[in-house]
Amino acid sequence: MLFKQQALLRQKLFVLGSLVIGSVLYLVARVGTLDRLQPICPIESRFHPPEPEQIPLRTLQFKRGLLHELRKGNATKDQIRLHNLVQQLPRAIIIGVRKGGTRALLEMLNLHPAVVKASQEIHFFDNDKNYARGIDWYRGKMPFSLPHQITIEKSPAYFITEEVPERIFKMNSSIKLLIIVREPTTRAVSDYTQVLEGKERKNKTYHKFENLAIDANTCEVNTKYKAVRTSIYTKHLERWLKYFPVEQFHIVDGDRLITDPLPELQLVERFLNLPSRISQYNLYFNATRGFYCLRFNIVFNKCLAGSKGRIHPEVDLSVVTKLQKFFHPFNQKFYQITGRTFNWP
């Protein structure tokens, strides 16, 4: 009798154990299914494709003619269809700084076979009217490219416009941001020179730089003057750091890009996780222009527009000194935040 009760108990325990094991296996399978149903990309990154693990540059070598057309923005309808060309949102943006060398940097990065550039400044994120047109309008302003290429645009006004960091973050929170800077006083004078030239073309008079940069009432630096305000790099960068970690920024030395561009370009290649392809062959010094020009291949060379490298007006040395002293503490903080030091006064 006892033997029968023990056998019956073992049978019930076996059935119960089978049910428990079956339930556990079901839950494990269910969790695995739920995991597979999770979105592949977070919300903010759904507008752009994931970055490829490796850019097939060997494939690009056999499409040199196509690359040449893409660089010029001249892809035909047949090329778009045949090569499955697409308009991609940028994975990197040169956000500033005005008169820091943004155009030169963009054109030089376009030497890389895996990079395509938006030729014009789009002003999507800093212009309310353009921004209201939506992300598809922005994508439509991008050049056609091969799916594994990286699209880059530049709009220097982005750096100093308050709404821009949040707007770019909403498009892509992991985007890479390039900032090219020059010695702040030199940059401010260059900014003034460009505006002055525009006034002179229209036969209009303009104030001297000294009168704009220094407040006549206080004899102190006039921070209301936009050219001065733009050169306070750390003030603008701090606003960007509310949305992006410092690791997503790369600081380019605009002064060095003029005199010795290759090392700066190699640093950008590494920051963008691009294979090193820009070499000294692609850069040659034009003694007549006084600047480096670009060699894309044996038949296609390019120099920057003649408006680059304007001659600056002479500025009173006491004003230059006052500006340099004013910028100095801001520069020190900029070095501390970015981890890059410059030999600025």
CB 164 within 8 A of CB 105: no
- Is 308 marked as binding a ligand? yes
- Is 206 marked as binding a ligand? no
- Is 311 marked as binding a ligand? yes
CB 221 within 8 A of CB 323: yes
d(CA 294, CA 280): 10
- Is 292 marked as binding a ligand? yes
- 227 burial level (CB within 10 Å; 0-12, 13-18, 19+): buried
- Is 102 marked as binding a ligand? yes
Helices (H), 38-149: 57-61, 64-72, 77-82, 102-109, 128-132, 135-140
Beta strands of the chain (E only): which ranges?
86-87, 92-96, 115-117, 144-145, 150-154, 176-181, 249-253, 283-286, 291-295, 301-302
SS3 5: helix
- Is 103 marked as binding a ligand? yes
- Is 309 marked as binding a ligand? yes
- Is 254 marked as binding a ligand? no
CA separation, residue 260 to residues 154, 276, 280 (Å): 22, 17, 10
- Is 207 marked as binding a ligand? no
Nearest Cα to 209, choosing from 237, 233, 239, 231? Answer: 231
d(CA 286, CA 217): 46
Please say if 242 is a catalytic residue: no
Instruction: Check 12, 99, 117, 333 and give the catalytic one.
Output: 99
Helices (H), 43-96: 57-61, 64-72, 77-82
- Is 341 marked as binding a ligand? no
d(CA 189, CA 198): 14
d(CA 329, CA 327): 6
- Is 101 marked as binding a ligand? yes
- Is 46 marked as binding a ligand? no
CA separation, residue 76 to residues 19, 27, 136, 140, 204 (Å): 65, 54, 21, 16, 43
Residue found under tokens 């949102």:
89
- Is 158 marked as binding a ligand? no
Binding residues for 3'-phosphoadenylyl sulfate are 99-103, 182, 190, 292, 308-312
Residue numbering of the annotated binding site: 99-103, 182, 190, 292, 308-312
Q: Which residues are catalytic?
A: 99
